[in-house]
Structures are given as C-alpha cells and as structure tokens.
Amino acid sequence: MNDEPGSFWRLLLFSYATNVVVLAVYILIAHAFDGFVYSACRWDCGWYLGIASQGYDTALRSGPTDNGQANWAFFPAFPLLLHAIEALTGWPGQRCGVLLNNALLPLMAALIARYAWRRAAVDQCLTVLIAAMFPYSLYFRVPYTETLYGTLLIGLLLLLRANRLGWAAVCAACFTATRPTGAPILALIGIAKCWQQGVPFFPLSKHARRSMATIGRCVVLGAAGGIGLLAYMTYLHVHVGDAWAFKHIEAAWGRHGGNPVGNILQGLRANDLTIRAFLPGREMSQRYLALCCIAGCVLVAWGILTRLWLEAGIVLTTMLLATSTCLWSSARYLFANPAMLVLVAAAAQRLSAQWRAVFLCFCAMIQVLFVVLWYQGARFLM
C-alpha cells in the first residue's frame, strides 16, 4: 500500500480485521479465567478506574496497605475519557476501558504504519502485523494509558510532517496530559523539528527568515502542548496544595530520583533471573528489566545508524526517564511505544520473507504467554 487515494482506508480496514482476530484470542483465553473484561484489569488499571469514577484524592491514603499513596501519579487524559464514556453508555469502567483501547489500537497501528512508510519506506501491512503481534502490545488492549498516549504521539508526528500546526497543537495539549513523559518528549520533538530545518546552523544567514519561522512554530507548539500539563499542575495546586504532587508521590512506590545508568547496572548485577521470577506470586526480576533496557539500547543504536534519529531519541528519552527512579515498569514504557514499534518494523523489513514470518510467529507465541501470565497476575508485567 502506498499514499494513493483511499489506501489509508484499506490499511485501516486491514488493521481492524487483524486486531479483531488477535482480540478474539484474548477473549478465548479469558474463558479459562474470569472473562476478558474483568481479567484485563490488573495493577494500574484499578487506579485509572478509581479516578474515572471518584476523581483524584485530596489527601494521602492512610489505609493499612496504602503506604501513604495517592492517585496523583496518574495523569488525567485517560481517566477523563473513561469518565465521559461511562457517562454516555452507563457501562462500568472496566468495560469502557477495554472498549476504548481496543477501538483505538487498530487506528494507532494504521497511523504507525503510515508514518513508518513515509519515514523509512517500511511495508505498511508488516507494521500493522507487528503492532498487533508484538508481545508488549498486550498493554494496548488492557485499560492502561498506553493506547491513548501512543495514538496521540504518532498523530502528533504525522501532523507535524504534514505541517498541520493547529491540529498538532491540539494533539500536543492532550499528549502532555496523558503521561509525565509527554512534556519531555514534546520538547525533544520540537528540538528535532528545529534541527531538521537547519536552525542551529544558519541563524543569521540568508535562511534566517525560515529559521525564525520554524522557531516560532516550535514555540507555539510548545506553548500549546504545555496547556495539558499546566492544567493538571494547576488542579493539583488548588486541590492538593502541591503542583508537583504527581512527581513527589512517586516516593510512596519506592521511586526516588537517581542515575538511570546506575539503576540498569545494578539490575544487571542482581542474581534473580530464574523461571520462577516470571510466575504469578513472585517478585519481578531486576536483571530481566535491565536486559530489556539493554535490548532497547541496541535498537536505539540501530535506529541512529539507519538515520531514524527522532524515533531513536524518543525511545532513549523514554528509557532514561523510566529508569531514572527504578526499573519497575521500564519494559512496558520502552516497548509499548509507537517509536519502538517503528524501529522494530524497520528492522524486520531488512529480514527475508521467511525470517519475517518466523519473527511474527515468535512474537505471537510470546504474546499469548504474556496474556496467560497477565490474567494470572504475574508481577513482572506490572
């Protein structure tokens, strides 16, 4: 498929058909547990549903198992959207979350495919298949913020490539209200846009007018994008008394600012990588998470070598932010990410047809294993 008229709609149809098949597998496996809607809701899902139905906490929780936690660490865009769907349908939050993400995922996959085609001439159907079958695509199907965040990120990149600044600004405002990493990633995208236009090299030359126009567009994008983050910080300041409560509350989960490289090296030294670490009821393996980060670094290096600098930069920035406090959830932040899927699809494009088929089958088998373990509550998938 190329950019001919109507091709995107065929791609979108292919994406929905593919993801319906994968979703059917999730539902089939869930029959052995408590059904898909209930079994899909694990770990952070409860926090998002609580915000959607009851709003944000006004003080720290003091229950025997709360450890002084509060739901301020979870940004508002996803729970607000859940609340709106609940109000419109009257359905419970779990069903709304599953509906929202499984409706958005095929659209996100099609947008990633279109972006990868324009950016690196990657076969669009291959990208859709990878987005559907990649093991960490699990997080796009459960009531987590990954799908909304990913859709807004890839939509923002496509809008900027098309010079649709107005819609890009709206997308950026929603993007920074979705997750704490939104604002730093938006800043990186703005810097990359300026760099692409040659702003660092010709600030006072005959290209000065073009450079100033580019800088102006980036300033507008950054100002509009900051609206989402600023709105949430204002809310926290008024209702909690701490505009940075979303950052400060991380300590309740054992997250403290530190050196991401040091955290990864410490994880590699942990002697805890056993089969038992992947079973339900067991603590997650720090070495496994560190190895995931190493794999991410390899893909980042490959992206840089193949001139996919922006995508590699987004993945690297995400990894550094995720591992700056601890390694928990770093694999999810790293691999359930549109920029990572672009790198994986571009790498898979270099394989022969037979090896691409083997790769896709391997991804599908690992994802099925992840689904079973997710339903059972395996902690390494937190």
Average pLDDT over residues 309-334: 93
Average pLDDT over residues 306-310: 94
> For position 252, what pLDDT does the model report?
80
Residues of the chain above pLDDT 70, percent: 93
Residue 6: pLDDT band (50, 70, 90) is: low
Average pLDDT over residues 358-377: 96
> For position 258, what pLDDT does the model report?
84
Encode 170-182: b = buried (16+ Cβ within 10 Å), e = exposed: bbbbbbbbbbbbb
Residue 125: pLDDT band (50, 70, 90) is: very high
What is the DSSP code string of 242-288? Answer: -TTHHHHGGGGGT-----HHHHHHHHHH----SGGGGSTTSPPPHHH
Q: Are 264 and 327 in contact (CB under 8 A)?
A: yes
> For position 5, what pLDDT does the model report?
46
Between 29-43, 149-163, 214-228, 260-274, the lowest mean confidence (pLDDT) is in: 214-228
What is the DSSP code string of 322-362? Answer: HHTT-STTHHHHHHSSHHHHHHHHHHHHTS-HHHHHHHHHH
- Please determine, for residue 207, whether its predicted confidence score (pLDDT) is greater than 60: no
> For position 133, what pLDDT does the model report?
96
Average pLDDT over residues 214-238: 86
Q: Is 291 exposed, middle or buried (0-12, 13-18, 19+ CB in 10 A)?
A: middle
| Tens-digit pLDDT profile for residues 95-115 | 999 999 999 999 999 999 999
> Phi/psi zone of residue 69: left (φ > 0), alpha (ψ -120 to 50 degrees), beta?
beta
| Rounded Cα distance, 236 and 374, in Å | 32
Query: 332 is written with which tokens?
Result: 């999810």
| Tens-digit pLDDT profile for residues 325-359 | 889 889 999 999 999 999 999 999 999 999 999 99
Query: 267 is written with which tokens?
Result: 């994880």
Query: 223 is written with which tokens?
Result: 């100002």
Average pLDDT over residues 283-309: 95
Residues of the chain above pLDDT 90, percent: 74
Average pLDDT over residues 131-142: 96
| Rounded Cα distance, 49 and 78, in Å | 10
Between 154-168, 197-211, 245-259, the lowest mean confidence (pLDDT) is in: 197-211
Q: How confident is the prediction for the chain on average, in pLDDT?
A: 90
| Tens-digit pLDDT profile for residues 175-200 | 999 999 999 999 999 888 777 765 55
| Rounded Cα distance, 167 and 158, in Å | 10
Chain centre distance of CA 29? 25
Residue from 131, 144, 137 nearest 77 by CA: 144
Average pLDDT over residues 142-165: 94
Choose between 251 and 140: higher pLDDT.
Answer: 140
